[in-house]
Each structure stands twice: as structure tokens, then as C-alpha cells.
Structure 1
Amino acid sequence: MADIRGFRGFRYDLGSVGTLSDVVAPPYDVIDPALQQKLYDSSPYNAIRLELTRDEPGDDEQTNKYTRAGNTLREWVVENAVRQDTARGLYVYEQEYTVEGQTFVRRGFLARVRLEPFGSGKIYPHEQTMSGPKEDRLKLYRATGFNLSPIFGLYPDDGTVFAPLEQLIRSAPPIVARDHLGVINRLWVVTDSATISKVIGAMGPKPVYIADGHHRYETGLKYLEERRAAGEVADDEAAPNFCLMMLVGMSDPGLLILPTHRLVSGLAADLTAPQLEGVLAEHFDVLERTGTNAQAAWEHVLMDGSQSTFAFGTVADGLWTVAKLRDKDVMASLAPDQSEDWRELGVSILHKLVLDRLLRDKIGGTPVCKYVHLLSEVTDATAKKECQVACLVPPVGMGHVEQISEHGEKMPPKSTYFYPKLLTGLVFNSLKKD
């Protein structure tokens, strides 16, 4: 079983820093320069000054954005703007959000989870990682000695894990923050030891699947390795053995995986819909031509419900085509080392067959993707002719995440997008002390 603990988190003293909404921030990987500046302007205590500190002229190895983040956090702790809770607890975290007119509520709890190398226990990844983000986060871990933002973990559940927490939070008012996207974030601190024991016991032998935060998890393992080599990890209970993780049941009704659509550029020539059909004809059947109606094309993909149906928008003529893979056996020759489950993923089919083979061979060039999640983002981009072909990709489900993870495989990059992101600044976890 995954080793899950209550912990003494560090949290903002709202009497010192003001409203929680002014000091929280999204995780580093979704912050552009404009949002970074907006968060800087919102409060001198905003977590952006830790999570994604600005570069400054004259930065060097001794003075840089990482050292500034470390110094800032230490100053906040000294002046009691950030305080450590006196009792160990679990932190119930609820997010209320709206996507394309529908409102969802997702709930889970923040805990310390023991780090374990992938493949050695009950924690499974599902996506590939890149070296750049891991090096960036490692420098931040070294400078601050904290987990600033939580990893997002999922566990198979019938509701029994969260039930003991539900009873307590019904009668207690939460701390509330509304983020820049309008998501309402609520936090409760649960310190009742009997309740915490029930939650940990209910987790039993359940596995944990990493939904988001793969880079941070692998960084935690590297940081632990470094601290052990430096003689700073006294035993298995030392703080670097653990990471901050948000745990959400896979049956939670508010758990939503958004599709990640591709806006493709870099082709040697622009394509019309008839030309695209010619490119696809060897392996795909055209199911529908919806003219300029992207919404109708997307609805067809969703109604089909399979991983092998896609909608393609050709920007040169503004037309949409829905096509379905005719023979899945072609994927066995393109990805012989992957499992059948992996080969049947929509993102695998799109990249291995359509982008890397058909478009390269028949059109030429080097396909380059920009990734978006909402249909409105796709239609805005095609209207502005910001790509050559738009690809609407069927969303993966929780079953796909579980299957791929348990095979010991990783999905292609940008396969899943768990919305909304978990905020930075609700709870910080020390890697130095309990």
C-alpha cells in the first residue's frame, strides 16, 4: 500500500497577508508572463514569488530566481506571514468549476505520501517526462527545502476513503479562494486522529496513479537521493522521504479529464479537406463531412465514444472532416514494443500514424503541435489561421490511465489534462522538518 501520513503543513497567516485569493497561484507549468505579472501585482505575498520567481538582470549562480524564492520563503516564515500548523492533519481540498456551461465539484485531501521509485511499489506514472522541468524544480527544491505545490494522485475508490472526512467538513466552514479562472477553491484542516486513521486504513492496499505532477514526483526522488548522499536523511521517517500529494478517488463525480487537441503547423504545404482525405484514405474511413461546423464534428467524435475517431479541420478551406481508423493492426507495426492498450489510444494513433507517418510521407515537412483543450480555443485558432490542420482528439478515460500505468508504460506527452489545476499556496510541505 502507499504510505500516507497526516502532516504539519505550513500555511499563510491570513491576518498578516490578506485574503487567500490574493496570495494563491496556479502551478508553474500553466503560467505565462502576463499571468506571472498579474500575480506579482496582486500581493507582495503571492505564491508566484516562490513557485515561478522572475529572472532579474545580473542573475548568476549565487543570486537568481531560485535563491530569491528560498530567501523569500524564509523571510515569510520568520515574520509569521507563513506559519506551521501545530497538529498533524489532512487537508480536505474542494474545487468548484465550470466547463462549457456545466458545473463540477471535485474533492480530495492533501497528505504526505512516501516516495517510492516507479515500478517498486504502488505508485504509478502514466505520462512521459522531460529533463528541463525536472532540473528547474530540483533547483527550487534545493533552494527552498519545500514542496510548494502538490502532486495530483488518484486512487480506485467506492467513496469509503472520503466518507470519514465528509462527516467533519459538513459542520466546519472552509477557507475559500477564487482563482484567476473563477474556480472556487475550499480548504478544511482535519486534525482528528481517529478520522485520519480511518482514512489511512480505508486506503488499504490501494494503488495511487499520478494524474498530474510527474516532473515534481521524479524531482522528489532525485532530491531524496541527493539528501541521502549528503547524510541529511537520518531514517525512513525523515521529511525528504515524503512528498505533498492531493489524493482524489477515481469515482469522484467531479473528476474531469479534458481532451488535448492538436493545432498542427510545419507541413510542407497547406491542405484542403479533399487533400486530407486522400492522405488518410489508406487507413481511415470518412464518417462525416460537417462543412464549417466544428461543433458538429466534435459532437460526432464524442458520440462515437471510441479512441479511433478524430475530427480534422483544414484551415486552407475552413472545412471539417470526421474520420475513423479502419484497421487497428497497423499500429502493431508502428509501435511493436507497446501494449495493445497503448496502441489503441487516440493520441498514440494520431502521433504514430497520422502525424509521424501519413502527413510526413505524403505532404512533407515536420509537423509541430500546439496543444489546447477547449473547442473554442480550436475555432479561435483556425479562424486566425494560426495552424494548418486542427485535430480534435477523443478524451482518454480513467480506465485508460489505470491500464497504461499498470502496464508500466507511459502515455505520449499531453495525453491527459486534469482540469482545474491544483493551486499553489494553500499548504506548503517542508522537506526539512516534520
Structure 2
Amino acid sequence: MARLFPFRALRYDSNRIPHMADVVTQPYDKISPEMQDRYYAASPYNLIRVILGRKFETDTEEGENVYTRAAATLKQWRNEGVLKQESEPALYGYAQTYDVPGRPGETRERRGFIALAQLHDYEEKVVYRHEQTFPKHKSDRLALFKATRAYCEQIYMLYSDPTFTAEKAIFDDKDGHVRKADLEIKDEYGVHHRVWKLTDPALIAKVLAAMEDKQLIIADGHHRYETSVGYMHERAKELGIDEKAAPKTDSGLPAPAFPEQAMMMTFVNMAAPGITILPTHRVVFGLKGFDAEHFFAQAHEYFTVTPIQNPSSKGPSEEAVLLEKLRTCDGVAFVAVTKDGSALLKPKTETVAPLLEGLSKRQQQLDVTQLHKVVLEKLLGLDETAVRAGDNVRYLREASEAIEQVRTGKANVAFLIKPVSLSQMRDISLNLEVMPQKSTDFYPKLLSGLAMYTLD
């Protein structure tokens, strides 16, 4: 049973922050050093100082460090009134209108809503994951969370409701027209974000009731979710509280039995249009003695290898040529890019089959699974532990950046892949399976700083 709750969000005071675009950010794991610098320069109240602050050589584990500074900053902003807590519990409608990357002229809108939800272990079959996580990311988020005692970012959660009950209640007025938003922001990618504050108890009750029987799938935020579940267990034991205790209803609306029992999420209906999944390309670096000719010779045993001629200076870009080759190839395929040339790799089904034994048919049909099992593990000798540790693999959204890293010698080889489909991700999740880490890139990302959930 999915339990959702309205909450009294901590939000930026619009009287103190006239330009909200100056203080919100992309999610922490999508922020490059250059973006971090830009956010620092945008405003002294930019949320970057809390979710991904600068580290200094003088930092110590027991003394001042990036986490203690984040907590002090959050406290200071609350004391100054830059951040204010809402006076009544609410849900927050959230819509994002965006141009689809790589598809000129195509615009989509993704709708959802922000609420709290009770945390569950995966074994309870209420919340489902779809990909592996990186241990070091979880330890970082746990340290930040313990210091700040606040959720400053939402995780992105999917559910399915062909009747669109929640969306109709949240976004439509009595005449069926979309309500006027309370907040509008355009981010650095040109995405138009709109937020609606919803405090009507009857509306809130209708939305919560509609979500009770839903299965929830994590789209983005596996690290934060798993960190929060672990912290919930820890705090329930410390407080002597049943972690599955029924919600409080003191105000007439449900609330978590204890603050750590829930976390902040954005819920998006898989039955609605507007969801976009982009590929996450793999860049392999640090391989001693890597030789492109030898690699392609080995690859011939498992793949049909079709060299791709470098484009002329007057024609389409290399990125465009390689992605078009990939897009027009049916079935599992990926493009390998080396300094000595590129090629399309299409697996020989019978030859790769032994390397995929033990995996379900769903897993075996995934491009990203075959890339990891056959190419990274078998051909390049990178075992799963090394890949998960991030020792030799980078994950990039932009194919142009992946190609550039190879061309400049920062990487040995890049692999451009197709995106996982929404139906593939859903089926993997609901059958209690997981894909390799960074298998999906949901676009656009949820802005951080629109609403926050504080435990104290």
C-alpha cells in the first residue's frame, strides 16, 4: 500500500528572492564543476551551497567540512527568512514543458505532483528499483542528510493510472481548464517549470486515495531512496518506534508517524504522455595497452562489426553520422568509437548467448546489458565490481562529449547506445530485476529547490 502525505514545505520567500531561477539547480548528480561555479555566482542563496558545496583542503571529518557548512547555511537561511516554512500542509502540482533533445520541433509536457511518501524496503513490493547504485554516492548523500536533516531534492517516482485521477484533480479547474500556476521558472536548458500549491483538504484526500493501490517505480533517485530507507531503520531503532506505524492524523490530514518514515518525491503517471528517456553513453578510460585494431578483431567473434567512415568536413557532424547509424539499426546494437575509427557492433545472437546465461529474457534483450556483459566484461576485462566502482567507466548523456574524450586522449573507447524504453524499464522493475547502473536518463530533470522537507 502506497502511503502519501501532504506536508508543510520549506520554500524560498519570493519577496526575498525575486528571480527564482537564480537559486534553484539541477539534481546534484548532474552538476559538473562548471555548473557548480555558475550556480555559486548566480546568487548567494543558490541551493548549490547545500546540496553540493565546495570542498576545501582544510576540511576534516570531525571538524568543519562540506556537510557541516551545508547544515550551517540551511540554518542561516531559515533564520534570515530567505527560506520559510508553509503555514499549512500541501501537495504541489509540477509540470515541465520541454523540447525533446535530438528531435527538432518536438515539444512535450510532463506532469506530476510533489508529496511525501512512506519509505519501504524493496522486499515489501510497494517501491521498485530498476538499476544498480554506486556505494560511494550513497555514503555521500547519507552524510549530507544527517548533517542537514532535510530533503532539498525530490526523487522521481513513476506509477500507472490510465484514469488520470490525480492529474485531473490537481491541474484542472471545475471547467476542465488548467489552473494558473503559482510559480514559473525557465532553467538553463530552456525547460519551462510550473508549480501549483494545493491546500484544499478534499482535493488532497482525493489524490492520496487514488494513489493507495499504486506500485511505485524509482525513475531517478535510487541512491537517495536507499540512503533514506537505511536512515529510517536507524532512527526507528533509536527512537523505539515501529517503522511501519500508522500515520498520524492530528490535523485531519495524514502525516508520517515519525519524520524519517517518509521522504519527498515527485510522482509522474506512466500512462500519460510526456515521459522521455535518453541514453547514457559509456566512456572507458585507463586501459593499459588498449589497441583499437585488436579490440575490433576480438569483437568479430561476438558481433557483426561494420566500420563507419568518418564524415567529410562539409557534411553532417561525426556525432550526427554515428547516431543516425545507430538509430536506423534494428535490434540490439551500439557504436564503438576509438581514435583509429568507429564501427557499428551488432551481436551474433548464438555466440553471445552463453555470456548472457542466468539472465532473464527481458535482461538479455537490453542493449545496455549486452554492452556490459559482452563488451565491458568479456572483451575489455572489466568485472562488475570495477564497473560499479567507476574505476574505468564514465557515463555521459551527450554523445559529442563522449566522442571528444576519445579524440583528445581522455578515454580509450566510447560506446554510444540506444535508450531503454519505458516499457522495458517497467517490466524489469516489476519483475524484481535491475539493469546496470546509469541505464536510463529521464529528461528533463526535476529542479532542486522548488520545495523542501525538513525533519526538524
Q: TM-score when scaled to structure 1?
A: 0.89
Give the match's secondary structure for 1:35.
helix
**Corresponding residue for 2:451?**
427
Give the match's secondary structure for 1:162.
helix
Q: 2:261 aligns with which of 236, 241, 244?
A: 241
What is the rounded CA distance, in whole Å, between the counterparts of 1:28 and 1:162 in structure 2?
28
| 2:239 is aligned with 1:231 | yes
Contact 1:315 1:390 in 2 (8 A): no
Give the match's secondary structure for 2:292.
coil
What is the rounded CA distance, in whole Å, between the counterparts of 1:161 and 1:270 in structure 2?
55
**Corresponding residue for 1:327?**
349
What is the rounded CA distance, in whole Å, between the counterparts of 1:3 and 1:68 in structure 2?
33
What is the rounded CA distance, in whole Å, between the counterparts of 2:58 and 2:309 in structure 1?
55
Q: 1:302 aligns with which of 299, 310, 327?
A: 327
Q: 1:405 aligns with which of 411, 424, 429?
A: 429
Q: CA 1:122–1:171 in 2, change beyond 3 Å: closer, same or farther?
A: same
> 1:352 offset after TM fit, Å?
0.9
**Corresponding residue for 1:177?**
185
> 1:343 offset after TM fit, Å?
2.3
Contact 2:302 2:351 in 1 (8 A): no
Q: 1:258 aligns with which of 234, 259, 278?
A: 278
> 1:346 offset after TM fit, Å?
0.9
**Corresponding residue for 2:168?**
163
What is the rounded CA distance, in whole Å, between the counterparts of 2:302 and 2:56 in structure 1?
52
Q: 2:195 aligns with which of 178, 187, 204?
A: 187
**Corresponding residue for 2:250?**
none
Q: CA 1:414–1:173 in 2, change beyond 3 Å: closer, same or farther?
A: closer
Q: 1:357 aligns with which of 378, 384, 393?
A: 378
Q: CA 1:375–1:269 in 2, change beyond 3 Å: closer, same or farther?
A: closer
> 1:329 offset after TM fit, Å?
6.8
How much identity, in percent, do the aligned residues show?
36
Q: What are structure 2's unaligned runs of at least 5 residues?
A: 247-256, 312-317
Q: 1:345 aligns with which of 355, 358, 366?
A: 366
| 2:399 is aligned with 1:375 | yes
> 1:150 offset after TM fit, Å?
0.6
Q: CA 1:12–1:294 in 2, change beyond 3 Å: closer, same or farther?
A: closer
Give the match's secondary structure for 2:324.
helix
Give the match's secondary structure for 2:195.
strand
Q: Residue type of the partner of 2:213? A: P
Give the match's secondary structure for 2:24.
coil
* 47-56 vs 287-296, greater mean Cα deviation: 287-296
What is the rounded CA distance, in whole Å, between the counterparts of 1:163 and 1:400 in structure 2?
27
> 1:355 offset after TM fit, Å?
2.1
**1:81-230 map, 5 Å:** 81-98=82-99, 99-100=101-102, 101=104, 102-158=106-162, 159-168=164-173, 170-230=178-238
Give the match's secondary structure for 1:304.
coil
Give the match's secondary structure for 1:109.
strand
What is the rounded CA distance, in whole Å, between the counterparts of 1:357 and 1:255 in structure 2?
34
**Corresponding residue for 1:395?**
419
Contact 2:334 2:345 in 1 (8 A): yes
Q: Residue type of the partner of 1:90? A: L
> 1:55 offset after TM fit, Å?
2.3
Contact 1:114 1:243 in 2 (8 A): yes
State the superposition RMSD in angstroms.
Answer: 2.4
What is the rounded CA distance, in whole Å, between the counterparts of 2:138 and 2:18 in structure 1?
32
Deviations 1:258-315 (Å, cap 9, x if unpaired)?
111122332523314xx55432222222467454455344223323342x11222332
Q: TM-score when scaled to structure 2?
A: 0.85
What is the rounded CA distance, in whole Å, between the counterparts of 1:429 and 1:325 in structure 2?
47
* 419-428 vs 75-84, greater mean Cα deviation: 75-84
> 1:91 offset after TM fit, Å?
0.8
Give the match's secondary structure for 1:104.
strand
Contact 1:113 1:245 in 2 (8 A): yes
**Corresponding residue for 2:302?**
283
